[in-house]
Amino acid sequence: MAKIHISPNRATDKTIRDIDRRREQERKKMFTHAKENAETLSVKLLQRLLDRELIETTSIKNIQETFENQLKKIGSLEEFELQMKLAPIRTLVPDPNVISLYMTQFIVEDLINHSDIQDIFGEDLDIYRAVDSVLKIFRP
């Protein structure tokens, strides 16, 4: 009988695939929860940003609806779109929450051009910390 040789590379590849599969499952769960709880999370997120004086707005309702739409939309983005959105701030923190990172980039890049936003204050890290303080409930 031939002896089965198990390559260390094969075992390593299997481990890496398992880790990647778990991460992908966790991301899908996070996106599903974000979509299901978008309304309440958008209210909390907007309140946190206003409390920490990171944004000034003329219409709280419109900004809350904008956040809600983004939280619902994140799960339907293609991987390439998501990665392109996150690319500028991917290295902001060592182990980022994907949803917090996405919402931070949305605030910094897109929300600034919203007609109901007067101004956005603080650095990217300050905004990320405020966003993550609300959205960290998704972290497994």
Q: pLDDT averaged over the chain? A: 88
Residue whose tokens read 């590849």: 13
pLDDT value for 138: 72
pLDDT value for 27: 85
**Residue percentage of the chain with pLDDT more than 90:** 55
Separation CA 76–CA 81 (nearest Å): 10
At 1-59, the pLDDT tens digits run 455 555 556 667 788 888 888 888 888 888 999 999 999 999 999 999 999 999 999 99
Record the pTM: 0.84
Question: What distance separates the 2 farthest-apart alpha carbons in the chain?
Answer: 78
Give the end-to-end CA distance of the chain in Å, rounded to a whole number. Answer: 46
Is the per-residue pLDDT at 81 higher than 80? yes
Encoded tokens for 64:
């809350």
How far are the Cα atoms of 2, 17, 31, 44, 74 from residue 67, in angstroms, in the given order? 61, 34, 14, 10, 11
Separation CA 120–CA 46 (nearest Å): 12
Find the mean pLDDT for residues 85-99.
Answer: 89
